[in-house]
A = this chain, B = another copy of it.
Amino acid sequence: MTEDQPQRTGGLSRRGLLGLTGVGVAGFGLGMAADGAMHGASGSTGGAQSADNHPFYGAHQSGIVTPAQDRLHFAAFDMAAETTRTDLIELLQDWTIAAGAMTAGREIGEFGAVSGPYDAPPQDTGEAQDLPAAGLTITVGFGPSLFESGDGVDRFGIAHRRPERLVELPHFPGDALEEKRSGGDLCIQACADDPQVAVHAIRNLSRIAFGRASLRWSQLGFGRTSSTSTAQTTPRNLFGFKDGTNNVKAEDTATVDTQIWVQPQDGPAWLAGGSYLVARRIRMTIETWDRTILREQEAVIGRTKGEGAPLSGGTEFTPPDFEATGRDDEPLIDRAAHMRLAHPSTNNGTAILRRGYNFVDGNDPLGRLDAGLFFLSFQRSPKQFIDVQLNLAKNDALNEYIRHVGSAIFAVPPGAAEGSYVGATLFT
């Protein structure tokens, strides 16, 4: 029994049970495990089975090249003060067990929401008990502050294992970042085809973290704004344009390997098979956009608004011809068009896997919808995002209509092996 292998009690670490039941009623937690046989509960069997399950365990984490689901609940966490390496490991173990259950359409814990002892809080909060897995994926990431909290203290004994490439993103021109929407020691991306399933996942994982990590910020999203599979049609963002036509697709395994997964030679070894995740909350000033003439909208994007074809001609998937010119020898696709500046050919072949969602979070005091794009991208190295975003931040005609207000970066470890836990390679 080493520090890294905490005692398990019926599938959840002892600390996990404490977390589930809260510090004040810790006794119930222990009672629960002891009472298991008495109550005849046979494990987490609630939740209808869905044909659309994505296993949590595997070489890579799911939720990256998985065909993008329709809904998102994303959460960033900070580790609590005074937590130890053991706390962090146990948290990741408890999250793994719960994620394995929920992604299979099962409730969490031994007793789920309703079959447990009546004198203990239910282990699962229960709002998803009649729902299928709905394609749920849970993807975990580590922020730079997990490795080095800035006060010089190596809280978790992993400072020396920080990936060299995992550094805070630089300040980009135009950034208007809010602290309360940025950063985080850990993140969980929960995607599903039913928002109640995604919300249930984040809620229960937050609950499991009680006393060890707490929500720093969170974001709901809908209407995936990128396809990540050739089997998906291209959805539209809140500018009304198709978004992600030229995205990396899961079926293009060569590009996925060279652009998305961290390779063994990249280092560090524990991150091989993982990726880097960048999250940006991009507020759209949609009221201004909506008063912009159609020609200007199309010029800003570089595509037609209906079909999504490049302004150089063709249909949606026709490769853009950036050299084609029209009147006065001006390029048909404007030099500042978003699509030109984001295109791999403008960025030395760099591609990133976008997996963002639309959001509307009510309205501001002036009656403007607080709406936009919650951008998520996965890439083999943060440099890929940084290079493209520097190009965009300096030159993109779209900047007149958007404002980056939140930002975070995470190293996404490889998938957990059955019987192990997500992130285990970092601690061995």
- Chain A residues packing against B (C-beta within 8 Å): 21-22, 24-25, 28, 73, 113-122, 124-130, 180, 194-196, 199, 202-203, 206-207, 210, 214-220, 222-223, 233, 235-241, 286-287, 290-295, 297-298, 304-306, 358, 360-363, 365-369, 371
Contact = CB atoms under 8 A, between A and B. Distances in A.
Contacts of A287: 207, 210
Contacts of A297: 122
A48 to B, nearest CB: 12
Contacts of A24: 291
Considering the complex of A and B, which 5 residue pairs feature the smallest CB-CB distances, nearest first?
A126-B240, A114-B306, A214-B367, A215-B367, A118-B295
Contacts of A119: 293-295
Contacts of A194: 223
A233 B130 CA distance: 10
Nearest to A196: B223
B73 A199 contact: no
A180 B364 CA distance: 10
A386 B93 CA distance: 49
B362 A361 contact: yes
Nearest to A299: B118
Copies in the complex: 2
Contacts of A195: 195, 222-223
B290 A120 contact: no
A20 to B, nearest CB: 9
A237 B127 contact: yes
A215 B363 contact: yes
B121 A293 contact: yes
Given A118-B295, A121-B294, A290-B121, A129 B306 contact: yes
B196 A125 contact: no
Contacts of A124: 240
B305 A126 contact: yes
Contacts of A305: 113-114, 122, 126
A126 to B, nearest CB: 2
A215 B368 CA distance: 7
B362 A129 contact: no
5 contacts: A121-B291, A127-B223, A128-B236, A215-B369, A361-B362
Contact of A196 (B196, B358, B367): B358
